[in-house]
Amino acid sequence: MQPTPVPSGASSVQGGTTHRKRKAPPPPRSPLQLPSLTPSPQPPSPAPRGKSPEAQSPSPSPQPPEPSAQVEDEEVFEEIRRLRLERGRLLQKIKTLEQQQQSAVSALEELSQLRQRLEKAEAERDKLLEELKGGHGLGASDSDDIDEMLDFPEKLLSKRSRVSPAQEEDADSASPPPPPPPPPADNGILLELRKHIEELTSQNSELVLKVQMLEMFEKDDTDMQPSSPDSVPLAQYETLRKEFEALQERLSQANASEQTSSVAEECGDDTSQEGNRNAELSEALKEKLREMEEQLASSKSELEELKEQMRLGVLSVECAEEDSVVAGAGTEGGSGAAAEEAQQLRARVTELEEELAKTQAEGGGQSSPDSNTVKQLTEKVKELQAALAQKESVREEVQGEEKDTDTVKCLRDKVAELEAALAERSGKEGGGGGGGGGANDGDQVHRLQQRVGELESELRKCVPRSELEEVQVTLGLQCEQLARERADVARRLNDALLELERLRPPASGDDEDDEEEEEHSGGSEPSVTSDISRRTLDVVREELEVARQEAAQALDYLCAEREGRAQEALQLKDAVPLSKHREALSAVSEQLAQTLQELQEEKKLRTKAEEHAASFEAKLLGLKDAVPREEFDKLKVSGKTLNYIHQSAFVV
């Protein structure tokens, strides 16, 4: 199954985040419907959502919301449904484990009965040995010889050679006449018995080695797993193991003594029968150990096959992780590639979990390291999902803040230009001579300055610069830290996948063959590995339940963390939605443009007025040396009178 590369965790319009409600999770399915579901169902096509009133509000550049939030919600729902399926499988497995536990109790009772029978047989053997010693009148030296012969069966033939003649006479006088010497055929029987004893000793040594190996495996399991209420303490197990070894030694000694007594006298027939029973028990133990060896070999072969099958998948995961780490510091294209790789990683992890659940459901009693790997994988998947969600939210915040900073810079540039124009105008007003519209221009300039101050105060309320700088610094540090954490999480996930492949449990076919062999071997015989396997199965069951609970808690934690981040983003922006913020910025920019146009028009009017004033001043300068008209008229009248007087005088 190849998942479609859809960017996950993106719940933002291109330029910021918008608060949207999440869909309610689907109702839980009944247990009868769980087996009919496929392990990897296709997500249903998301229903188109209606546009929010904030998105319908007029803005300079409206952009439609992406459906990535719906895809992310559907992924969460698919994970929840998958966890429910696994819960149903685990419930079925718990029932089977309870049945096996009941059978384990019966097996322990049978083992205790067999031990009691063995103790009775040993008591009878001791009585027979005492009777033999009393009947033959053996002394301290003879008892020492018997002990040595029990330890070393090859010294049986040298018994008579080491007895002194005086002791033989005393024994003959104190005891009834001995039986007739055995025929020469007894030597062949003794040789056969000696060979049989050697074989039993070698088999006993092999059994001891195998028991030690089982103890090592159990120690590893107990070190890696917490102790459950159904498990046996380690000290008690050590005491039981020592008792078992002592019983094996006594069994071997009993076999040797019974064989020697059967060769010496006919009264040892009963003890030989008990030895045959003990030999049957040892053979049953050997058969069980052989079955365990076969299971181990089959599990190794299965693990090798799974490694070969999964190697290509692990390599692809490694390549995807390296690409995602490299692309994490890039632009929006890099964020899309990282989201696709994260989606592929999640799909890969879910496939591995499904395969592990199938193999555990098919196999009855498996080893406990699988539960540890499952727990580690769930923890690492949880860490990876948290890191991805943090990185995506931080990226969205950084993109929104960058766009906001661009608009803020543009507005600040416009405000600086307006302030410079106002400063020039005020300087010209102070230096130039007074005209007719000087007072009106001063009022208008004062009004424009007040308007610019109001716009600046609104701009500071919308986006405080100090908070913006702090957010940029913190977001940069968080991006670097998340990139490092992502690389570390990818490496640990890869290691966990490799370890999971290494510890893959055997297939169900081998388990069925083992169960058939156990049925043929007989259910009443004691099993060395029954207690260990049942304890490990109980521990696996508990740890799987804990892992599922942790996964559900991780999903809840992710949802809560994302909601908290959205609320923090809103608080950082003084709880103003991005659409309203953009509307305010667009209104401020329009008002600033209008004021700029008004200032330019007023500047043109002022230049015209200044030109008129300059022309008037030039005219005034030209008329500065001229005589007023009244004086000119007076002078003209006076000149006329003088001329008239002069003419009259001339006439006279």
Summarize pLDDT for 585-627 with one digit per residue, the tens. Answer: 888 888 888 888 888 888 888 888 888 888 887 877 776 666 6
CB under 8 Å, gap of 24 or more: what pairs does 465-469 form?
A: 465/408, 467/572, 468/401, 468/404, 468/405, 468/408
Q: Residue 17 — φ and ψ, nearest 5°?
A: -105, 145
**Angle 418-421-427 (CA atoms, 0-180°, nearest 5)?**
140
pLDDT of 170 > 70? The answer is: no
pLDDT of 318 > 60? The answer is: no
pLDDT of 80 > 80? The answer is: yes
Residue 413 lies in a domain: no
493: tokens are 């996930």
Nearest by Cα to 178 from 130, 141, 136:
136
Say which amino acid occupies 213.
M
273: tokens are 């029968």
**In terms of C-beta density within 10 A (0-12 exposed, 13-18 middle, 19 or more buried), how is residue 435 classed?**
middle
Longest dimension (CA), the chain: 224
Q: What is the pLDDT of residue 83?
A: 92
pLDDT of 122 > 80? The answer is: yes
How far, in Å, CA of 349 to CA of 370, rounded? 15
pLDDT of 304 > 70? The answer is: no
Residue 109 CB-half CA count within 13 A: 6
Q: What is the pLDDT of residue 471?
A: 74
Residue 616 lies in a domain: yes
Q: What is the pLDDT of residue 189?
A: 78
Instruction: Compare 218 and 134 and report the one with higher pLDDT.
Output: 134
Instruction: Compare 37 and 133 and report the one with higher pLDDT.
Output: 133
417: tokens are 């230009």
**In terms of C-beta density within 10 A (0-12 exposed, 13-18 middle, 19 or more buried), how is residue 135 classed?**
middle
The CA distances from residue 89 to 56, 95, 356, 538, in Å, are: 48, 10, 12, 15
Listed in sequence order, the residues at least 6 apart from 77 whose beta carbon sits closer than 8 Å to its beta carbon are 23, 25, 26, 43
Question: What string of DSSP letters covers 154-209?
Answer: GGGGGHHHHS-HHHHHHHHHHSPPPPPPPPTHHHHHHHHHHHHHHHHHHHHHHHHH
Residue 602 lies in a domain: yes
Mean pLDDT of the 75-98 span:
89
Instruction: Compare 35 and 468 and report the one with higher pLDDT.
Output: 468
Residue 160 lies in a domain: no
Mean pLDDT of the 323-335 span:
46
Listed in sequence order, the residues at least 6 apart from 383 whose beta carbon sits closer than 8 Å to its beta carbon are 489, 492
Residue 235 lies in a domain: no
Domain coverage including residue 609 = 592-652
**Angle 635-640-644 (CA atoms, 0-180°, nearest 5)?**
145
Distance between alpha carbon 294 and the CA centroid of its chain, in Å? 35
Helix (H, G, I), strand (E, B) or coil at 26: coil
**In terms of C-beta density within 10 A (0-12 exposed, 13-18 middle, 19 or more buried), how is residue 596 classed?**
middle
Residue 634 lies in a domain: yes
Taken as a whole, the chain contains a residue count of 652
Give me the number of domains the chain comprises: 1
Which range, 253-257, 434-438, 460-464, has the best average confidence (pLDDT)?
Answer: 253-257
Residue 217 lies in a domain: no
Instruction: Compare 541 and 77 and report the one with higher pLDDT.
Output: 77
Mean pLDDT of the 456-471 span:
66
Which range, 11-15, 159-163, 500-504, has the best average confidence (pLDDT)?
Answer: 500-504
Asked whether 548 and 90 are in contact (CB, 8 A), the reply is yes
Summarize pLDDT for 268-292 with one digit per residue, the tens. Answer: 555 556 666 666 766 776 676 677 6
Mean pLDDT of the 525-541 span:
61
Residue 596 lies in a domain: yes
Portion of the chain with pLDDT greater than 90, in percent: 1
Listed in sequence order, the residues at least 6 apart from 498 whose beta carbon sits closer than 8 Å to its beta carbon are 314
pLDDT of 374 > 50? The answer is: yes
Q: Residue 284 — φ and ψ, nearest 5°?
A: -60, -40
Buried b (16+ CB within 10 A) or exposed e, 448-473: beebbeebeeebeebbeeeebeebee
Q: Residue 422 — φ and ψ, nearest 5°?
A: -65, -40
Asked whether 295 and 510 are in contact (CB, 8 A), the reply is yes
Residue 452's pLDDT band (boundaries 50, 70, 90)?
low
Mean pLDDT of the 422-449 span:
59
Residue 85's pLDDT band (boundaries 50, 70, 90)?
very high
Range of lowest pLDDT (309-313, 378-382, 530-534, 598-602): 309-313
